């Protein structure tokens, strides 16, 4: 997959040279380029913002450098242009899975009070992390890109690494334990030490169901419980 990031601060994306994504780049699984929007402005002072028509606080990113940058990056219809903004579709794991199937993603990182409305005709999708304000689109682009790339084949060691994670099946992840077996008097649950894979699977499923119901009831209400889920839950109640 190819990732192109249109930004005023390309250096912020050096984070993708490290850890799991950095290794994926070395393997050639993903190609990430951070492109400076200022390189496309026709303004001799490299200015990319101006005062809003009609008045108001703050500055607005001008259309010319953004549109020229998009045209430079988007070579064909296989590229999807995504703007990180507060009016967009709320980002979640399902959207990450859909985006991971694309060949090329172009992310636009806004700043100031936003972008000129006329740029939107060149944008395929606007994505929001949630109902809060960030200082720039870069802060939103990093988790979105990371969430998408880790779903690509070969990025993580095993497919199970992300299949068992929170949100992959609509539930929060079950509790995880590692050595030592006892820490400050707190012991690892016996079932995880039993070596009985089926009992471990059922325990983990139960924990995911209980944790999701307690902490994210909005997600729990959307889960289609299987007959096995009902049996596991009823057995837990009987205890």
Annotated binding site for S-adenosyl-L-methionine: 110, 129-134
Q: 11 is written with which tokens?
A: 């250096």
Residue 124 to residues 28, 90, 101, 233, Cα–Cα distance (Å): 26, 15, 15, 43
Q: Which residues contact 5 (CB under 8 A, 6 or more apart)?
A: 13, 32, 33, 34, 35, 106, 107, 109, 141, 145
39-42: list long-range contacts, CB under 8 Å, 24+ apart: 39/69, 40/64, 40/65, 40/66, 40/68, 40/69, 40/72, 41/65
The C-alpha atoms of residue 178 and residue 237 are separated, in whole angstroms, by: 28
1 and 149 Cβ atoms separated by less than 8 Å? yes
d(CA 205, CA 191): 13
Among 12, 148, 136, 149, which Cα is nearest to 84's? 136
Neighbours of 20 (CB within 10 A): 15
| Residues annotated within a binding site | 110, 129-134
Residues contacting residue 216 through CB under 8 Å, at least 6 positions apart: 172
Distance from C-alpha of 94 to C-alpha of 92, rounded to nearest angstrom:
6
């Amino acid at each position: 997959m190819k990732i192109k990031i249109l930004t005023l601060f390309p250096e912020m994306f050096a984070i993708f040279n490290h850890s799991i994504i950095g290794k994926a780049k070395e393997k050639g699984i993903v190609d990430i380029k951070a492109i400076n929007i200022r390189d496309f402005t026709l303004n001799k002072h490299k200015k990319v913002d101006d005062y809003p028509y009609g008045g108001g606080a703050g500055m607005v990113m001008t259309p010319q450098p953004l549109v020229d940058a998009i045209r430079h990056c988007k070579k064909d219809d296989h590229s999807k242009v995504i703007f990180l903004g507060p009016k967009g579709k709320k980002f979640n794991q399902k959207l990450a899975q859909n985006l991971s199937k694309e060949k090329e993603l172009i992310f636009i990182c806004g700043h100031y009070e936003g972008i000129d409305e006329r740029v939107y005709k060149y944008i395929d999708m606007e994505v929001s992390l949630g109902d809060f304000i960030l200082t720039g689109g870069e802060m939103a682009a990093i988790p979105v890109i990371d969430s998408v790339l880790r779903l690509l084949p070969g990025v993580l060691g095993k497919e199970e690494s992300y299949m068992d994670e929170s949100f992959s099946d609509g539930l929060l992840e079950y509790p995880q334990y590692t050595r030592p077996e006892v820490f400050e008097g707190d012991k690892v649950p016996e079932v995880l030490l039993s070596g009985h894979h089926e009992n471990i699977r059922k325990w983990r499923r139960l924990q995911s169901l209980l944790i999701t119901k307690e902490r994210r009831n909005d997600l729990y209400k959307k889960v289609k419980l299987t007959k096995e889920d009902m049996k596991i839950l009823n057995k837990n109640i009987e205890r």
